[in-house]
Structure 1
Protein backbone atom coordinates (compact mmCIF):
# COMPACT_ATOMS: atom_id res chain seq x y z
CA UNK A 1 0.00 0.00 0.00
CA UNK A 2 1.18 3.50 -0.74
CA UNK A 3 2.32 5.18 2.47
CA UNK A 4 0.29 8.31 1.75
CA UNK A 5 -2.88 6.27 1.32
CA UNK A 6 -2.16 4.53 4.63
CA UNK A 7 -1.73 7.81 6.50
CA UNK A 8 -4.86 9.28 4.88
CA UNK A 9 -6.85 6.21 5.93
CA UNK A 10 -5.46 6.52 9.47
CA UNK A 11 -6.49 10.20 9.61
CA UNK A 12 -9.97 9.35 8.32
CA UNK A 13 -10.24 6.60 10.93
CA UNK A 14 -9.28 9.03 13.72
CA UNK A 15 -11.69 11.68 12.39
CA UNK A 16 -14.47 9.08 12.23
CA UNK A 17 -13.74 8.05 15.81
CA UNK A 18 -13.94 11.67 16.93
CA UNK A 19 -17.16 12.32 15.01
CA UNK A 20 -18.98 9.25 16.33
CA UNK A 21 -17.57 8.73 19.85
CA UNK A 22 -15.60 11.86 20.75
CA UNK A 23 -12.36 11.45 22.71
CA UNK A 24 -12.89 7.75 23.44
CA UNK A 25 -13.24 7.20 19.69
CA UNK A 26 -9.98 9.06 19.01
CA UNK A 27 -8.24 6.95 21.65
CA UNK A 28 -9.58 3.75 20.10
CA UNK A 29 -8.62 4.85 16.56
CA UNK A 30 -5.13 5.85 17.68
CA UNK A 31 -4.73 2.49 19.41
CA UNK A 32 -5.71 0.63 16.24
CA UNK A 33 -3.34 2.73 14.11
CA UNK A 34 -0.42 2.11 16.50
CA UNK A 35 -1.24 -1.61 16.54
CA UNK A 36 -1.15 -1.68 12.72
CA UNK A 37 2.22 0.09 12.71
CA UNK A 38 3.58 -2.43 15.22
CA UNK A 39 2.40 -5.30 13.02
CA UNK A 40 4.25 -3.79 10.03
CA UNK A 41 7.39 -3.27 12.11
CA UNK A 42 7.23 -6.87 13.37
CA UNK A 43 6.87 -8.14 9.79
CA UNK A 44 9.92 -6.15 8.71
CA UNK A 45 12.02 -7.46 11.60
CA UNK A 46 10.98 -11.06 10.92
CA UNK A 47 11.90 -10.81 7.22
CA UNK A 48 15.27 -9.22 8.07
CA UNK A 49 16.04 -11.86 10.71
CA UNK A 50 15.31 -14.68 8.26
CA UNK A 51 17.39 -13.00 5.56
CA UNK A 52 20.24 -12.37 8.00
CA UNK A 53 20.51 -16.07 8.88
CA UNK A 54 21.09 -17.16 5.27
CA UNK A 55 24.32 -16.76 3.27
CA UNK A 56 24.48 -13.43 1.45
CA UNK A 57 23.35 -13.66 -2.17
CA UNK A 58 22.49 -17.38 -2.14
CA UNK A 59 19.08 -18.74 -3.14
CA UNK A 60 17.92 -22.36 -3.57
CA UNK A 61 16.98 -21.83 -7.24
CA UNK A 62 17.74 -18.83 -9.41
CA UNK A 63 15.22 -19.96 -12.02
CA UNK A 64 12.42 -20.07 -9.43
CA UNK A 65 13.41 -16.63 -8.18
CA UNK A 66 13.28 -15.34 -11.75
CA UNK A 67 9.77 -16.78 -12.15
CA UNK A 68 8.50 -15.17 -8.93
CA UNK A 69 9.71 -11.64 -9.65
CA UNK A 70 7.16 -9.06 -10.76
CA UNK A 71 7.59 -5.40 -11.70
CA UNK A 72 6.91 -3.01 -8.82
CA UNK A 73 8.04 -5.36 -6.04
CA UNK A 74 9.87 -3.71 -3.15
CA UNK A 75 13.09 -4.96 -1.61
CA UNK A 76 11.02 -6.29 1.32
CA UNK A 77 8.94 -8.38 -1.10
CA UNK A 78 12.08 -9.71 -2.78
CA UNK A 79 13.65 -10.58 0.58
CA UNK A 80 10.54 -12.60 1.46
CA UNK A 81 10.98 -14.59 -1.76
CA UNK A 82 14.76 -15.05 -1.58
CA UNK A 83 15.07 -15.42 2.21
CA UNK A 84 18.59 -13.98 1.92
CA UNK A 85 20.21 -10.59 1.47
CA UNK A 86 21.48 -9.89 -2.03
CA UNK A 87 24.95 -8.79 -3.03
CA UNK A 88 25.01 -5.17 -4.08
CA UNK A 89 26.70 -4.51 -7.42
CA UNK A 90 29.18 -1.67 -6.81
CA UNK A 91 29.47 -0.87 -10.52
CA UNK A 92 25.72 -0.30 -11.01
CA UNK A 93 23.49 1.84 -8.78
CA UNK A 94 20.44 0.21 -7.14
CA UNK A 95 21.41 -3.21 -8.50
CA UNK A 96 21.51 -6.43 -6.47
CA UNK A 97 22.18 -10.04 -7.40
CA UNK A 98 21.52 -13.54 -6.08
CA UNK A 99 22.98 -16.84 -7.29
CA UNK A 100 22.31 -20.52 -6.68
CA UNK A 101 24.61 -23.54 -6.32
CA UNK A 102 24.38 -24.27 -10.06
CA UNK A 103 25.81 -20.88 -11.02
CA UNK A 104 22.56 -19.27 -12.17
CA UNK A 105 22.60 -15.56 -11.31
CA UNK A 106 19.59 -13.24 -11.02
CA UNK A 107 20.35 -9.51 -11.13
CA UNK A 108 17.61 -7.05 -10.13
CA UNK A 109 17.43 -3.28 -10.59
CA UNK A 110 15.47 -1.30 -8.01
CA UNK A 111 15.50 2.42 -8.89
CA UNK A 112 13.33 4.31 -6.44
CA UNK A 113 12.90 1.20 -4.30
CA UNK A 114 10.67 -0.63 -6.81
CA UNK A 115 11.70 -3.53 -9.03
CA UNK A 116 12.05 -2.20 -12.54
CA UNK A 117 13.92 -4.99 -14.31
CA UNK A 118 15.72 -8.26 -13.66
CA UNK A 119 18.04 -10.49 -15.59
CA UNK A 120 18.73 -14.25 -15.37
CA UNK A 121 22.19 -15.45 -16.40
CA UNK A 122 22.92 -19.17 -16.75
CA UNK A 123 26.48 -20.56 -16.59
CA UNK A 124 28.33 -21.22 -19.84
CA UNK A 125 28.68 -24.98 -19.22
CA UNK A 126 24.93 -25.58 -19.47
CA UNK A 127 24.81 -25.21 -23.24
CA UNK A 128 25.35 -21.53 -23.82
CA UNK A 129 24.42 -18.32 -22.14
CA UNK A 130 20.64 -18.20 -22.13
CA UNK A 131 19.33 -14.96 -20.71
CA UNK A 132 15.84 -14.06 -19.77
CA UNK A 133 14.41 -11.34 -17.67
CA UNK A 134 11.63 -8.95 -17.17
CA UNK A 135 10.98 -5.27 -17.22
CA UNK A 136 8.20 -2.96 -16.16
CA UNK A 137 8.47 -1.17 -19.49
CA UNK A 138 6.69 -2.74 -22.42
CA UNK A 139 8.72 -3.36 -25.60
Structure 2
Protein backbone atom coordinates (compact mmCIF):
# COMPACT_ATOMS: atom_id res chain seq x y z
CA UNK A 1 0.00 0.00 0.00
CA UNK A 2 1.26 3.45 -0.90
CA UNK A 3 1.84 5.54 2.24
CA UNK A 4 0.85 8.72 0.40
CA UNK A 5 -2.73 7.44 0.33
CA UNK A 6 -2.74 7.49 4.15
CA UNK A 7 -0.35 10.29 5.11
CA UNK A 8 -1.84 13.08 2.98
CA UNK A 9 -5.47 12.70 4.21
CA UNK A 10 -4.27 12.34 7.81
CA UNK A 11 -2.09 15.44 7.43
CA UNK A 12 -5.03 17.41 6.05
CA UNK A 13 -7.27 16.24 8.91
CA UNK A 14 -4.65 17.29 11.47
CA UNK A 15 -4.31 20.64 9.73
CA UNK A 16 -8.09 21.15 9.91
CA UNK A 17 -8.11 20.21 13.59
CA UNK A 18 -5.29 22.64 14.39
CA UNK A 19 -7.09 25.39 12.47
CA UNK A 20 -10.27 24.74 14.49
CA UNK A 21 -8.28 24.68 17.72
CA UNK A 22 -6.58 28.00 16.93
CA UNK A 23 -9.29 30.06 15.23
CA UNK A 24 -12.51 28.07 15.49
CA UNK A 25 -14.74 27.71 12.46
CA UNK A 26 -13.09 30.64 10.70
CA UNK A 27 -9.80 28.71 10.77
CA UNK A 28 -11.53 25.63 9.38
CA UNK A 29 -13.03 27.75 6.59
CA UNK A 30 -9.64 29.27 5.75
CA UNK A 31 -7.76 25.95 5.75
CA UNK A 32 -10.66 24.24 3.94
CA UNK A 33 -10.51 26.90 1.25
CA UNK A 34 -6.77 26.31 0.86
CA UNK A 35 -7.31 22.55 0.57
CA UNK A 36 -10.03 23.04 -2.06
CA UNK A 37 -7.73 25.37 -4.01
CA UNK A 38 -4.92 22.78 -3.87
CA UNK A 39 -7.31 20.06 -5.13
CA UNK A 40 -8.57 22.30 -7.93
CA UNK A 41 -5.01 23.06 -9.06
CA UNK A 42 -4.21 19.34 -9.31
CA UNK A 43 -7.49 18.62 -11.10
CA UNK A 44 -6.87 21.45 -13.58
CA UNK A 45 -3.36 20.16 -14.32
CA UNK A 46 -4.68 16.63 -14.85
CA UNK A 47 -7.38 17.84 -17.24
CA UNK A 48 -4.88 19.98 -19.17
CA UNK A 49 -2.49 17.03 -19.58
CA UNK A 50 -5.33 14.75 -20.71
CA UNK A 51 -6.71 17.34 -23.17
CA UNK A 52 -3.26 17.71 -24.77
CA UNK A 53 -2.79 13.94 -24.87
CA UNK A 54 -6.16 13.49 -26.60
CA UNK A 55 -4.98 15.63 -29.52
CA UNK A 56 -2.16 13.20 -30.46
CA UNK A 57 -2.10 9.57 -31.56
CA UNK A 58 -1.72 7.02 -28.79
CA UNK A 59 1.89 5.98 -28.21
CA UNK A 60 3.42 8.74 -30.36
CA UNK A 61 6.25 11.06 -29.31
CA UNK A 62 8.09 13.66 -31.38
CA UNK A 63 11.55 12.25 -30.59
CA UNK A 64 12.22 9.05 -28.67
CA UNK A 65 15.85 10.08 -28.13
CA UNK A 66 14.83 13.35 -26.46
CA UNK A 67 12.26 11.56 -24.31
CA UNK A 68 14.95 9.10 -23.23
CA UNK A 69 17.21 12.00 -22.24
CA UNK A 70 14.46 13.74 -20.22
CA UNK A 71 13.24 10.72 -18.23
CA UNK A 72 14.19 10.40 -14.57
CA UNK A 73 13.53 7.60 -12.10
CA UNK A 74 10.52 7.82 -9.76
CA UNK A 75 8.50 10.30 -11.85
CA UNK A 76 4.82 9.42 -12.09
CA UNK A 77 2.94 8.35 -15.19
CA UNK A 78 1.11 11.69 -15.47
CA UNK A 79 4.48 13.50 -15.64
CA UNK A 80 5.62 11.27 -18.52
CA UNK A 81 2.29 11.78 -20.33
CA UNK A 82 2.73 15.54 -19.86
CA UNK A 83 6.24 15.36 -21.38
CA UNK A 84 5.15 13.29 -24.39
CA UNK A 85 1.73 14.93 -24.78
CA UNK A 86 0.45 11.47 -25.68
CA UNK A 87 -0.89 8.45 -23.84
CA UNK A 88 1.52 5.52 -24.10
CA UNK A 89 0.71 2.29 -25.88
CA UNK A 90 0.03 -0.22 -23.11
CA UNK A 91 2.08 -3.43 -23.38
CA UNK A 92 1.24 -5.05 -20.03
CA UNK A 93 -1.98 -6.53 -18.72
CA UNK A 94 -4.46 -4.09 -17.23
CA UNK A 95 -4.32 -3.75 -13.45
CA UNK A 96 -1.02 -5.63 -13.04
CA UNK A 97 2.27 -4.25 -11.75
CA UNK A 98 4.62 -3.43 -13.41
CA UNK A 99 2.77 -1.37 -16.01
CA UNK A 100 4.66 -1.16 -19.29
CA UNK A 101 4.03 1.57 -21.86
CA UNK A 102 5.74 2.42 -25.16
CA UNK A 103 6.12 5.69 -27.06
CA UNK A 104 7.31 5.57 -30.70
CA UNK A 105 8.51 8.39 -32.93
CA UNK A 106 8.43 8.79 -36.71
CA UNK A 107 11.70 6.88 -37.25
CA UNK A 108 10.38 3.75 -35.45
CA UNK A 109 12.66 4.41 -32.49
CA UNK A 110 10.78 3.76 -29.29
CA UNK A 111 11.08 4.16 -25.53
CA UNK A 112 9.59 1.43 -23.36
CA UNK A 113 8.85 2.55 -19.79
CA UNK A 114 8.12 0.36 -16.78
CA UNK A 115 6.06 1.79 -13.91
CA UNK A 116 5.66 0.17 -10.49
CA UNK A 117 2.87 1.66 -8.36
CA UNK A 118 2.60 4.53 -10.84
CA UNK A 119 6.30 5.49 -10.62
CA UNK A 120 8.91 5.06 -13.36
CA UNK A 121 11.50 2.46 -12.40
CA UNK A 122 13.27 1.75 -15.70
CA UNK A 123 13.13 2.57 -19.37
CA UNK A 124 14.87 1.47 -22.55
CA UNK A 125 15.47 3.22 -25.86
CA UNK A 126 15.54 1.13 -29.03
CA UNK A 127 16.65 2.57 -32.34
CA UNK A 128 16.20 -0.09 -35.04
CA UNK A 129 17.60 2.00 -37.91
CA UNK A 130 20.86 2.68 -36.06
CA UNK A 131 21.49 -1.02 -35.33
CA UNK A 132 21.04 -2.00 -39.01
CA UNK A 133 23.27 0.82 -40.30
CA UNK A 134 26.07 0.04 -37.85
CA UNK A 135 26.40 -3.52 -39.14
CA UNK A 136 26.41 -2.59 -42.84
CA UNK A 137 28.73 0.43 -43.01
CA UNK A 138 31.96 -0.66 -41.38
CA UNK A 139 34.95 1.57 -42.20
CA UNK A 140 37.13 -1.48 -43.05
CA UNK A 141 34.60 -2.71 -45.64
CA UNK A 142 34.47 0.67 -47.35
CA UNK A 143 38.28 0.87 -47.60
CA UNK A 144 38.51 -2.62 -49.18
CA UNK A 145 35.97 -1.75 -51.90
CA UNK A 146 38.04 1.22 -53.11
Q: Same fold (TM over 0.5)?
A: yes
Gaps of 5+ in 2: 136-146
Structure 1 match to 2:35: 33
Deviates further, 37-46 or 88-97: 88-97
Instruction: Tell me, in whole angstroms, the C-alpha distance in 2 between the residues paired with 1:34 and 1:85.
Output: 28
Deviates further, 107-116 or 4-13: 4-13
Structure 1 match to 2:119: 114
Instruction: Tell me, in whole angstroms, the C-alpha distance in 2 between the residues paired with 1:3 and 1:70.
Output: 23
What does 1:95-134 correspond to in 2, within 5 Å?
Answer: 95-123=100-128, 124-127=131-134
Instruction: Tell me, in whole angstroms, the C-alpha distance in 1 between the residues paired with 2:92 and 2:9.
Output: 35
Q: Per-residue deviation at 1:31? A: 1.5
Aligned 8 A contact 2:92 2:101 in 1: no
Instruction: Tell me, in whole angstroms, the C-alpha distance in 2 between the residues paired with 1:83 and 1:6.
Output: 28
* Residue 62 (1) aligns with residue 99 (2): no
Instruction: Tell me, in whole angstroms, the C-alpha distance in 2 between the residues paired with 1:125 and 1:54.
Output: 29
Gaps of 5+ in 1: 129-139
Instruction: Tell me, in whole angstroms, the C-alpha distance in 2 between the residues paired with 1:126 and 1:15.
Output: 65
RMSD: 2.1
Instruction: Tell me, in whole angstroms, the C-alpha distance in 2 between the residues paired with 1:56 and 1:10.
Output: 37
Which of the residues 79, 85, 88 maps onto 2:87? 85
TM-score when scaled to structure 1? 0.82
